[in-house]
């Protein structure tokens, strides 16, 4: 005969309640897990590294790559996932470029003109002073079949495929310095100008009578503030973005160099994609680069207007003075690039001739169309 136990009777509803709670908790956990799980899993990942800020409003790289991401992911039904890491989050340009050669952790990079020659020696020709007379010629050249063929060399030399060229903060550079407003070639003499760690820029400054001070970008503001360097040059958009008016007084838009950023993708990774995905990437990159041209120009013009407000004095170098500077720089640059740097003079002449041909073609087309 069972005896009545109040405690035993109390345990029964408690156990039932506990079982119910555990069941509800398990269901909730499964529901949360399913909700957190991705709806799709990409077959391929394209990680893109660059040094520009992630801000969509103060540079051309971030919004252009955002558009590229939209186009690629939608066209491939999200089978290619595009991940963009800006602000040097994955390392320096050379470091990320080397990773992109392998195509495993990084598949694509944006590299400034000073670093591209580490992967493709002939690219130094593109750094020629006063190479382009205007934006339209620069864009026509960088987006041309001739230049695409020229850049096949980087694929052969380094295993990186060319996708396009962005205008580094607006392309045409402007001096900033603490000593004096540059209005003539003579005003540059004796200045200590910070340059990229690029022998081409060192040659350009020495030819103008300045002292070149090679420094990585991260040290520029300190060097200018402490007097280690008197000045530097970058596109007005860059000068404005990084508030160089806080550490220098004068700015002159000289346009003596056209700064560019080269967009590359790992050939090892790219070649393994299905053909329709490879076409998608080419198609999307073409649109992204075109978008970038417009954004960079706007940023450069706004940067110059802001520079004239924030620097003590601003000046646009007139064409007559640019011609004098060009007459000094072009022969000196050709001598350096063919003797010290070791490139074939025929390659230099061929690139210069193509730019001149495009400039003349555009000029004739404009006059024929609009000056009738």
Nearest partner of 258 among 352, 134, 148, judged by Cα: 134
- Decide which of 160 and 114 is more confident: 160
Looking at domain 44-370, which CATH architecture does it have? Answer: 3-Layer(aba) Sandwich (3.40)
| pLDDT number for residue 329 | 97
Statement: residue 268 has pLDDT above 90: yes
pLDDT single digits (tens) 176-217: 999 999 999 999 999 999 998 888 999 999 999 999 999 988
- The three-state secondary structure class of 355 is helix
pLDDT band with cut points at 50, 70 and 90 for residue 97: very high
Q: Are 172 and 258 in contact (CB under 8 A)?
A: yes
| pLDDT number for residue 196 | 87
Statement: residue 12 has pLDDT above 70: no
pLDDT band with cut points at 50, 70 and 90 for residue 5: very low
Statement: residue 33 has pLDDT above 50: no
| pLDDT number for residue 241 | 87
Please state, in angstroms and rounded to a whole number, the distance separating the CA atoms of residues 372 and 362: 16
| pLDDT number for residue 41 | 84
Residue 310: how many CB atoms within 10 A of its CB? 15
Our separate counts of H helices and E strands in the chain read 14, 9
What's the whole-model pTM score? 0.87
Please state, in angstroms and rounded to a whole number, the distance separating the CA atoms of residues 249 and 225: 11
Sequence spans of domains, the chain: 44-370
Question: What does the block give as tokens for 47?
Answer: 């990680």
Residue 216: how many CB atoms within 10 A of its CB? 10
pLDDT band with cut points at 50, 70 and 90 for residue 39: low
pLDDT single digits (tens) 126-156: 999 999 999 999 999 999 999 999 999 999 9
- Mean pLDDT in the chain? 91
> How confident is the model over 266-282, as a mean pLDDT?
98
pLDDT band with cut points at 50, 70 and 90 for residue 22: very low
- Decide which of 298 and 32 is more confident: 298
| pLDDT number for residue 68 | 98
> How confident is the model over 4-21, as a mean pLDDT?
44
pLDDT single digits (tens) 122-133: 999 999 999 999
> How confident is the model over 18-43, as a mean pLDDT?
49
| pLDDT number for residue 40 | 62
pLDDT single digits (tens) 212-259: 999 988 899 999 999 999 999 999 999 998 999 999 999 999 999 999
pLDDT band with cut points at 50, 70 and 90 for residue 17: very low
The percentage of residues in the chain with a pLDDT greater than 70, rounded to a whole number, is 89
Statement: residue 57 has pLDDT above 70: yes
pLDDT single digits (tens) 327-345: 999 999 999 999 999 999 9
Strands (E), the chain: 44-49, 80-85, 108-112, 160-177, 192-195, 211-214, 231-234, 250-266, 313-316
Statement: residue 282 has pLDDT above 60: yes
Please state, in angstroms and rounded to a whole number, the distance separating the CA atoms of residues 167 and 169: 6
pLDDT band with cut points at 50, 70 and 90 for residue 10: very low
| pLDDT number for residue 324 | 96
What count of residues does the chain have? 372
Statement: residue 55 has pLDDT above 90: yes
> How confident is the model over 301-324, as a mean pLDDT?
97
| pLDDT number for residue 169 | 86
Residue carrying structure tokens 């195509």: 103
> How confident is the model over 63-75, as a mean pLDDT?
98
């Amino acid at each position: 005969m069972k005896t009545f136990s109040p405690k035993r009777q109390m345990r029964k509803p408690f156990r039932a309640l506990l079982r119910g709670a555990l069941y509800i908790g398990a269901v909730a956990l499964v529901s949360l897990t399913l909700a957190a799980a991705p709806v799709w899993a990409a077959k391929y990942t394209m990680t893109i590294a660059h040094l520009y800020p992630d801000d969509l409003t103060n540079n051309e790289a971030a919004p252009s790559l955002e558009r590229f991401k939209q186009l690629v992911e939608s066209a491939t039904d999200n089978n290619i996932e595009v991940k963009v890491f800006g602000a040097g989050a994955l390392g320096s340009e050379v470091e990320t470029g080397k990773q992109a050669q392998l195509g495993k952790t990084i598949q694509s990079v944006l590299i400034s003109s000073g670093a591209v020659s580490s992967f493709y020696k002939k690219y130094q020709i593109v750094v020629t002073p006063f190479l382009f007379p205007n934006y339209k010629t620069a864009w026509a050249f960088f987006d041309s079949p001739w230049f695409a063929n020229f850049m096949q060399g980087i694929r052969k030399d380094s295993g990186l495929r060319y996708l396009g060229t962005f205008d580094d903060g607006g392309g045409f550079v402007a001096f900033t310095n603490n000593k004096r407003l540059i209005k003539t070639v003579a005003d540059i003499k004796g200045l200590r100008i910070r340059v990229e760690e690029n022998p081409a820029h060192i040659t350009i400054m020495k030819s103008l009578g300045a002292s070149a001070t090679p420094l990585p970008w991260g040290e520029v503001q300190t060097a200018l503030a402490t007097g280690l360097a008197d000045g530097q040059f970058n596109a007005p958009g860059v000068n404005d973005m990084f508030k160089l008016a806080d550490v220098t007084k004068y700015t002159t838009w000289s346009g003596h160099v056209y700064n560019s950023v080269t967009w590359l993708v790992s050939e090892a990774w790219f070649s393994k994609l299905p053909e329709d995905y490879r076409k998608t990437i080419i198609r999307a990159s073409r649109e992204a680069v075109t978008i970038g041209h417009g954004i960079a120009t706007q940023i450069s013009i706004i940067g110059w207007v802001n520079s004239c407000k924030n620097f003590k004095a601003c000046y646009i170098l007139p064409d007559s003075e640019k011609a004098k500077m060009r007459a000094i720089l072009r022969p000196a640059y050709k001598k350096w690039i063919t003797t010290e740097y070791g490139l074939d003079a025929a390659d230099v002449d061929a690139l210069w001739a193509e730019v001149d041909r495009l400039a003349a073609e555009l000029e004739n087309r404009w006059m024929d169309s609009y000056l009738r």
